[in-house]
Chain A
């Protein structure tokens, strides 16, 4: 009966199901998700009553600043917690590939984040009741938010695998996430370009490294191939590197 290893996807599904339920076993995830949701909705409501526009652009514009703290807090435990409690040994001695483990944990984190995004649906409903928002733009904004969040979770998972300490994983994750966002800010780009005149460091970082320009494209309704490639490609790279690290941690 014993020799029947699962494939990559089925193995990832089993891991994802356990991880997803584990978020709610701890209670911390529930509390932090609700807190982030309340914060996101209140930020939108504040902007909405000030601007009085029937669109979600202000919400999506503020979202990255919230996510650079919320998502590293979520991803910090992905591997560091298992290493701390020694359940890492349980996971890597199951007949599953390292790819299944990494994909499963990432899928669970992404599902929790998707649940957070679903919690902002009342904003869309309210806008539809009050007027006629551009639903295509809203959908594109949610796609951008999902891809951006997926990238931060993949990078956070990588840092969690690299660090046995959750706090270190959180700090590094928040710093990396913040740099992906802030490097796209025009004011910072101008400051950096001014500091290193002739080299245009700020512009170079903005164009080659920053996530914000790609995110802004999607939020603005332009689902460009460059933006999709950036988010999907970088996320896949982070997941692959995590797989390599998990294999090395075992040996």
Chain B
């Protein structure tokens, strides 16, 4: 990891004193001979929104699946609010709000029934469940579709239903895989504001391959390429370097990815998560 550009929170910034809510330590994941995640380490502390960027197939979704406990790491450790995802996956899942890449939903269910189901499965009941339902439906602007079946909803609504399900239990750690996929520009702007409003007391990791979106939302960016962590730095630093070198943010990120690509020309291609 010596070649990794690290100036972010995990490298010790103003948030370094707080205990990490999400701690990823030297994690490795292989699919057969393919190394999908290669000794990745970083941490998120309360109040942090971290953008997780990289090209398609870089290993972003695999790492988020590892965080969600859907996959288990071959090496290394992941702690979620102090719970090891391998040793105590049920307790770890209780702390996590997770939106998967493909955002699979139970299509035949009515939206409100689906959210109720997720809330109950996460231990909510009675007035507490009703209050959280009201909050998530309002926060994710789902009022117009609560009585509809999920398969009757548009792509944008489906994404918001997935987000509402991820937030219904008020999790301390939020992991979102391409959360703005399917949202229009207005919805994306609203989403960014919403995510920032959620940040206090929580750790939010969201993946995207659009650098501009990440820079508009986050204070810190973690970049991964071919399964390797290639950068972990504040967005302000990325922007400063881009301005200094006369590049766009995308151009600056591409420059960060180049050494990693050049260092591993003969290794098997890192892939995304299995379907």
Contact = CB atoms under 8 A, between A and B. Distances in A.
A87 B90 contact: no
Interface string B113-132: 10001101111000010001
Interface in B23-75: 65, 68-72
Interface of B is mostly: loop
A3 B95 CA distance: 6
A15 B68 CA distance: 19
Interface string B87-110: 000110111111010101111110
A25 B69 contact: no
A32 interface: no
A26 B109 CA distance: 9
Nearest to A92: B70
Contacts of B106: 18, 22, 87, 90
A23 to B, nearest CB: 10
A75 to B, nearest CB: 18
B170 interface: yes
B119 to A, nearest CB: 10
A87 B68 contact: no
Contact of A1 (B71, B98, B169): B169
A158 B132 CA distance: 36
Contact of B94 (A4, A86, A87, A250): A4
Contacts of B70: 89, 92-93, 250
Contact of B95 (A2, A22, A97): A2
Interface residues of B, number: 39
Contacts, number: 94
A94 B121 contact: yes
Interface residues of A, number: 28
Given A89-B70, A90-B104, A22 B170 contact: no
B172 interface: yes
Contacts of A2: 94-97, 122, 169-172
Interface in A56-91: 85-87, 89-90
A90 B170 contact: no
A97 B121 CA distance: 11
Question: Among B72, B90, B109, B128, which residue has the most Cβ atoms of chain A within 10 A?
Answer: B90
Contact of A21 (B69, B81, B95, B113): B113
Given A2-B122, A5-B123, A96-B121, A85 B94 contact: no
A176 to B, nearest CB: 28
B242 to A, nearest CB: 36
A11 interface: yes
A11 to B, nearest CB: 7
Given A1-B169, A86-B102, A15 B121 contact: yes
Given A6-B121, A18-B117, 5 more contacts: A2-B169, A3-B91, A85-B104, A86-B275, A250-B70
19 contacts: A2-B95, A5-B90, A5-B93, A11-B121, A14-B117, A17-B120, A25-B149, A26-B108, A86-B100, A89-B70, A89-B100, A90-B104, A90-B106, A93-B68, A93-B70, A94-B121, A95-B123, A250-B70, A250-B72
Closest A-B pairs by Cβ, 5 of them: A25-B108, A86-B104, A4-B123, A95-B94, A95-B93
